[in-house]
Structure 1
Amino acid sequence: MTRRDLLKSVGAITAAVAGASVSRTAMAALPEPVIQTSPNTMDPLVPTTGRPYNPVVTLNGWTLPWRMNNGVKEFHLVAEPVVRELAPGMNAHLWGYNGQSPGPTIEVVEGDRVRIFVTNKLPEHTSVHWHGQRLPNGMDGVSGLTQPSIKPGQTFVYEFIARRPGTFMYHPHADEMVQMAMGMMGMWITHPKEAHPHIAEVDRDFCFLLNAYDIEPGSATPKIMTMTDFNLWTWNSRVFPGIDPLVVRKNDQVRIRVGNLTMTNHPIHIHGHEFTVTGTDGGPIPLSARRPEVTTDIAVGQMRQIELLADEEGDWAFHCHKSHHTMNAMGHDVPTMIGVDHSGLMQKINKLVPDYMVMGDRGMADMAEMQMPLPANTLPMMTGQGPFGGIEMGGMFSVFKVRADQAKGDYTDPGWFTHPKGTVAYEWTGPTPESHHATPAPAGAEVELQVKKPATHQH
């Protein structure tokens, strides 16, 4: 369906109002919905109307355009089924907004009056909750509690003033387990209207959401009843090597905003730099409460803003530090076979199962290079190639690329880092010093063990 066709169909919809404070005359003409199907990171949307601000870059996403209508900033969200490329070679059938999952980032300025039209193209009712916002109760978006559900084919209007700056999210509060498991979510950024004592000016400002799916190998639709055992850990519904790098200039001040809508916490870690946690979904953190970190844990439903000075050139890993979250679809009921002698076993099993492959007798690194047959629409567990070979990562992993010659405002991938001579780890070919170990006791010898017990205390 083209945008023109969608606009015609939306114009024919009988709109409903999310709160009594919204005038029905505001719905006389809907803003045209903008649809985006590319999974690539879009350039920042520089504001041409309304208050000025320094725009964010949504990792593997984009910012939703708006129109100004008598001083009100108007957006149009379309909740609909989408096809999202998780990485080249695998598509997922998800639900999202305006052609993508997650939906587009909404950027406003503190003090803006915002009006959001939400059209439901899903097969069931929905709503939109504006996570972390201060707003009238009837605009909070909880089906049955603060508003009627938005039925298929209906358009509702939400209208409120963006009262405080910060990093927020939006997601349904209707059949929430299903709709969020299917990818319905997006980011909301409220920029400060003037200089703020706890919000610094930065050169580059990135944002993305943590989400997770359970998609059986060979299929494309998430298993919505999964509670904890997910097999695809994603940033903005992308897995490595499908996650774009975060490209910056050397000595840029960089802000990265991360929201967690998975079912577990994520320790987000960066290499080569330290950062400061400068904000949460509750607002900016006072300067006196900040401390340097290289890893910050983001719990379910939380937002975190981190800021750093990108003063070390290179291609630095940036990832969740839960090791199984940097792998793609895998089975969790696999026995540990490290050290098990498979000599002769593979040949015997191959007579019965021609495609059988020994897995894990020396660890899992071989899995990154094996050309094991996979079902259609399925990614390897560990994939991605770097300048020195396989990176052996998947899932929640990307690269923080710092370059001295990157132009201001240029987010294009500069390629792999050219290391100065003598700065790459290398193989040692000289003599190896002898290792000295304590002499073990002879087999069968008695070993005397003396134990000094602590003094006992009466309680």
Structure 2
Amino acid sequence: MLFNRRSLLGGAGAITAAASMASVSKVAMAALPEPVMQDKPDTMPPLVPNTGRPYNPVVTLNGWTLPWRMNKGVKEFHLVAEPVVREMAPGFKAHLWGYNGQSPGPTIEVVEGDRVRLFVTNKLGELTSIHWHGQRLPNGMDGVTGLNQPGIPPGKTYVYEFVARRPGTFMYHPHADEMVQMAMGMMGFWVTHPKGKHPLIDEVDRDFCFLLNAYDIDPGAATPKIMTMLDFNLWSWNSRIFPGIDPLVVGFKDKVRIRIGNLTMTNHPIHLHGHEFLVTGTDGGPTPKSTRRFEVTEDVAVGQMRQIEFLADEEGDWAFHCHKSHHTMNAMGHDVPTMIGVDHTGVASKIRKLVPDYMVMGERGMKDMTEMDMPLPDNTAPMMAGQGPFGAVGMGGMFSVVKVRKGQKKGDYSDPGWYQHPAGTVAYEFKGSLPDAARFQSESPGLMPPVQRPKTDVEVKIRKPSGGHGSH
């Protein structure tokens, strides 16, 4: 795993002096852990623990796990809240806020029973804090500014200390100016592994995690609009949008776990093709086995976590996405009129005399957008992008692919390329003649035909209220 390591304040003496001025506990007065930074948007290999209790590490989709140091039996981490530049897709970068060079910040992995100490340095221009979403901890460590602690001033470092009391899947995010800071991308993932064999937590071969987030960034711009409540135009996983989201690569017959956290402003029905999965956990912990059910779509509501598991026993490239259709698009406008079936070629030719680059949009639906070489402002993601083995995928936003392959070695997450379909297993064009249409054999006058039918059909007319849809 490659990281950029840099001294936060320029030397041990400066660090010690800064720590003495910051609101930290006595254990932090000697020196802070060196902050570890990451500026690549790639999915990094799992961080296998070399100190502390052993565990099977997770893989953060287009992200990484934060290293730690052991200090007298305590796991110490250093998070730096700061402005970052996040590549959301090739050719499109956003100016966000995050932690340690990334948005979302790095995943934190610990083991049930670990004593944890987290140094949080504020390099933003305003107060911040961190709430450890879903954790059991002392009230003063919960991170709600004004209620549990004073806000962390710019340039200061605070310390959070608690014991990871229960295994599960959690998040971290600010509880200070939350609307702004979360809209700017400040969030991260937390996984607490069980300390031993757990009756409700099975061992798996592959363990993935990612956060659902959303942004409103105008075409050609780079900074999110923080006042948006619903009309987001970039729906993302770990601040990446398709085709910038890496595939989830697994081996044939692997037991796979995927942990999903939602920090957007709406729910997301997450759908997996080709397999059924069990819902095995929430942010409340592992679910009782009596409540588990097989699904192909699981709704993840705002502020929730969901953990799903499945046996990857169908080879292929399987779509994995949010099933809200607008969430699998990018940079979409919300006030575009429907132009399906409207022939405006005559108007278009006149417009081109004034605007040479003008292009007809939406006459046959939106799929044409995937094949148009339309000029876009700099630093703008196309609405639907990504090429598959058979052409344009016609997706964007919250979309990726689970790639199931025979021969994929344990621990190998490299992209195996497109699936090579066996002969005769791909849908094909029918070129024969169609038979005459036949009436459905099930058609009948009904099980109990009426004794007397009206001589003429009666057309029922409904008068709609004049008030429109405002009362709905």
Q: In the TM superposition, what is the alpha-carbon distance from 1:344 to its structure 2 partner?
A: 1.3
Residue of structure 1 equivalent to 2:447: none
Residue of structure 2 equivalent to 1:318: 320
**Residue 75 of structure 2 corresponds to residue 67 of structure 1:** no
Residue of structure 1 equivalent to 2:246: 244
Residue of structure 2 equivalent to 1:409: 411
Percent identity of equivalent pairs: 77
Residue of structure 2 equivalent to 1:448: 456
Deviation by residue 1:223-266 (Cα, 9 ceiling, x = unmatched)? 01111100000000000000000000000000000000000000
**Residue 347 of structure 2 corresponds to residue 339 of structure 1:** no
Q: Find the aligned partners of 1:7 and 1:43 in 2 and give their Cα distance.
A: 30
Q: Alignment partner of 2:213: what SS? A: strand
**Residue 351 of structure 2 corresponds to residue 349 of structure 1:** yes
Q: Find the aligned partners of 1:331 and 1:141 in 2 and give their Cα distance.
A: 37
Q: In the TM superposition, what is the alpha-carbon distance from 1:15 to its structure 2 partner?
A: 5.3
Deviation by residue 1:366-423 (Cα, 9 ceiling, x = unmatched)? 1011011100000110000000000011000000000011011100000000111111
**Residues 342, 255 of structure 1: alpha-carbon distance in 2 compared, 3 angstrom cutoff:** same
**Residues 10, 331 of structure 1: alpha-carbon distance in 2 compared, 3 angstrom cutoff:** farther
Q: Find the aligned partners of 2:206 and 2:340 in 1 and give their Cα distance.
A: 44
Q: Alignment partner of 2:18: what SS? A: coil
Q: Alignment partner of 1:395: what SS? A: coil
Instruction: Give yes or no for contact 1:79–1:96 (8 Å, CA) kept in 2.
Output: yes
Q: Indicate the larger mover: 421-430 or 68-77.
A: 421-430
2:152 to 146, 150, 153: 150
2:229 to 227, 233, 246: 227
Q: Within 5 A, what are the aligned runs for 1:180-259?
A: 180-259=182-261
Q: Alignment partner of 1:13: what SS? A: helix
Instruction: Give yes or no for contact 2:214–2:235 (8 Å, CA) kept in 1.
Output: yes
Amino acid of the structure 1 residue aligned with 2:456: E
Amino acid of the structure 2 residue aligned with 1:3: R
2:311 to 304, 309, 312: 309
Amino acid of the structure 1 residue aligned with 2:239: S
Q: In the TM superposition, what is the alpha-carbon distance from 1:56 to its structure 2 partner?
A: 0.2
Q: In the TM superposition, what is the alpha-carbon distance from 1:6 to its structure 2 partner?
A: 4.4
Residue of structure 2 equivalent to 1:372: 374
Q: Find the aligned partners of 2:8 and 2:130 in 1 and give their Cα distance.
A: 24
Q: In the TM superposition, what is the alpha-carbon distance from 1:451 to its structure 2 partner?
A: 9.3
Amino acid of the structure 2 residue aligned with 1:251: K
Q: Alignment partner of 1:307: what SS? A: strand
Residue of structure 2 equivalent to 1:400: 402
Residue of structure 1 equivalent to 2:469: none
**Residue 429 of structure 2 corresponds to residue 427 of structure 1:** yes
Amino acid of the structure 1 residue aligned with 2:133: H
Q: In the TM superposition, what is the alpha-carbon distance from 1:351 to its structure 2 partner?
A: 1.9
Instruction: Give yes or no for contact 1:277–1:306 (8 Å, CA) kept in 2.
Output: yes
- With the length of structure 1 as denominator, give the TM-score of the two structures: 0.93
Amino acid of the structure 2 residue aligned with 1:13: A
Q: Alignment partner of 1:344: what SS? A: helix
Q: Indicate the larger mover: 251-260 or 423-432.
A: 423-432
Q: Find the aligned partners of 2:357 and 2:95 in 1 and give their Cα distance.
A: 29
Residue of structure 2 equivalent to 1:13: 18
Q: In the TM superposition, what is the alpha-carbon distance from 1:27 to its structure 2 partner?
A: 3.3
Residue of structure 1 equivalent to 2:468: none
Q: Within 5 A, what are the aligned runs for 1:24-39?
A: 24-39=26-41
Q: Find the aligned partners of 1:368 and 1:27 in 2 and give their Cα distance.
A: 56
Q: In the TM superposition, what is the alpha-carbon distance from 1:16 to its structure 2 partner?
A: 6.9
1:123 to 117, 122, 125: 125
Instruction: Give yes or no for contact 1:240–1:395 (8 Å, CA) kept in 2.
Output: yes
Q: Find the aligned partners of 1:377 and 1:246 in 2 and give their Cα distance.
A: 27
Amino acid of the structure 1 residue aligned with 2:326: H
Q: In the TM superposition, what is the alpha-carbon distance from 1:348 to its structure 2 partner?
A: 1.3
Q: In the TM superposition, what is the alpha-carbon distance from 1:357 to its structure 2 partner?
A: 1.4
Q: Indicate the larger mover: 354-363 or 277-286.
A: 354-363
Q: Find the aligned partners of 1:50 and 1:447 in 2 and give their Cα distance.
A: 85
Q: In the TM superposition, what is the alpha-carbon distance from 1:116 to its structure 2 partner?
A: 0.2
Q: In the TM superposition, what is the alpha-carbon distance from 1:289 to its structure 2 partner?
A: 0.4
User: Unaligned regions of 5+ residues in structure 1, if any?
Assistant: 439-445, 453-459
**Residues 155, 273 of structure 1: alpha-carbon distance in 2 compared, 3 angstrom cutoff:** same
Q: Find the aligned partners of 1:435 and 1:318 in 2 and give their Cα distance.
A: 37
Instruction: Give yes or no for contact 1:17–1:24 (8 Å, CA) kept in 2.
Output: no
**Residues 17, 293 of structure 1: alpha-carbon distance in 2 compared, 3 angstrom cutoff:** farther
1:263 to 253, 262, 265: 265
Residue of structure 1 equivalent to 2:6: 3
Instruction: Give yes or no for contact 1:7–1:32 (8 Å, CA) kept in 2.
Output: no
Deviation by residue 1:136-169 (Cα, 9 ceiling, x = unmatched)? 0000001111001000100000000000000000
Q: Find the aligned partners of 1:437 and 1:37 in 2 and give their Cα distance.
A: 63
Instruction: Give yes or no for contact 2:134–2:284 (8 Å, CA) kept in 1.
Output: yes
User: Unaligned regions of 5+ residues in structure 2, if any?
Assistant: 441-453, 461-472
Instruction: Give yes or no for contact 1:132–1:282 (8 Å, CA) kept in 2.
Output: yes
Q: Alignment partner of 1:4: what SS? A: coil
Q: Within 5 A, what are the aligned runs for 1:79-94?
A: 79-94=81-96
**Residues 152, 67 of structure 1: alpha-carbon distance in 2 compared, 3 angstrom cutoff:** same
**Residues 16, 77 of structure 1: alpha-carbon distance in 2 compared, 3 angstrom cutoff:** farther
- With the length of structure 2 as denominator, give the TM-score of the two structures: 0.91
Instruction: Give yes or no for contact 2:19–2:31 (8 Å, CA) kept in 1.
Output: no
Residue of structure 2 equivalent to 1:137: 139
Q: In the TM superposition, what is the alpha-carbon distance from 1:217 to its structure 2 partner?
A: 0.2
The alignment yields a C-alpha RMSD, in angstroms, of 1.8
Residue of structure 2 equivalent to 1:363: 365
Q: Alignment partner of 1:180: what SS? A: helix
Q: In the TM superposition, what is the alpha-carbon distance from 1:123 to its structure 2 partner?
A: 1.0
Q: In the TM superposition, what is the alpha-carbon distance from 1:447 to its structure 2 partner?
A: 8.7
Number of residues paired by the alignment? Answer: 442
Amino acid of the structure 1 residue aligned with 2:128: T
Q: Find the aligned partners of 2:27 and 2:339 in 1 and give their Cα distance.
A: 68
